[in-house]
Amino acid sequence: MITHLKGKLVEKNPTYAVVEVNGVGYLLHISLNTFSKLGDLENVFLYTHFYVKEDAQTLFGFVDKIEREIFRLLISVSGVGPSIARTMLSSMSTDEIQHAIATGNVGIIQSVKGIGAKTAQRVLIDLKDKISKTFAIDDEISSLESNTTKDEALIALEVLGFNKKQSEKVIDKILLADATVSVEVLIKNALKNL
């Protein structure tokens, strides 16, 4: 409904900001991440998410689109409401959240107040593929994807009839241990582990 607001920052504190647009003040619930990036700005541009439930209509504000998209992904998970999603965005940066989900790090997700073991598992299961598709994840594994040795080994293993995802996991482990390995040695080691 309301996708963004551009106006004068009238008031801000670590949990909310008030933005005046053409004489109307909008109360936006924000994360600490957004609060810190607002600084001492007088005029602001915030992306928004309008959340409606039976007893309330709430507007959430975000300093960038990535934060808003992660918020939307988080609230799509059963058991994660807007308060928990905002707490997660306040506890960690968007990059840390993406990396934790992409690498399946339950401990980091569970360290957020309000998220138990089951909810943390659900976040990882529900969002792992969505995070990988929606955002470019910069970690050790994805940095190896430009590796031509890896590409050649993957093609060879596919031709031999092995599953691409399974082969890729094995190859990534081998390359993390020794990035200078030749294609032949990489394929031989991968065949031992498949």
- Judge contact between 100 and 108, C-beta under 8 A: yes
Check if the beta carbon of residue 183 is closer than 8 Å to that of residue 149: yes
Higher pLDDT, 134 or 62: 62
Q: What is the residue range of 28's domain?
A: 4-62
Query: Can you give the pLDDT at residue 52?
Result: 92
pTM: 0.67
The pLDDT value given to residue 48: 96
Decide which of 116, 136, 156 is a domain's last residue.
Answer: 136
The predicted model gives 99-114 an average pLDDT of 87
CATH code, 49? 2.40.50.140
pLDDT band at 186 (very low <50, low <70, confident <90, very high): confident
Same domain, 70 and 116: yes
pLDDT of residue 75: 94
Give mean pLDDT, residues 162-190. Answer: 84
Task: Tell whether 75 and 131 lie within a shared domain.
Answer: yes
User: Does 127 lie in the same domain as 152?
Assistant: no
End-of-domain residue from the set 119, 136, 153: 136
Distance CA 91, CA 120 (A): 15
Tell me the two tokens of residue 190.
């991968």
**156 against 135, higher pLDDT:** 156
- What are the distances in angstroms from CA 181 to CA 21, 144, 165, 185? 59, 13, 20, 6
Q: Are residue 185 and residue 132 in the same domain, yes or no? A: no
Statement to judge: residues 127 and 107 lie in one domain: yes
Q: What is the mean pLDDT of residues 107-133?
A: 87
pLDDT greater than 70 at residue 168 = yes
Average pLDDT, the chain: 86
pLDDT digits (tens, 9 = 90+) for 25-49: 999 999 998 998 998 889 999 999 9
User: Do 166 and 109 share a domain, yes or no?
Assistant: no
How many folded domains does the chain comprise? 3
Q: Is residue 154 a contact partner of residue 168, using CB atoms and an 8 Å limit? A: yes
**Residue 138 above 50 pLDDT?**
no
Domain boundary among 21, 41, 62: 62
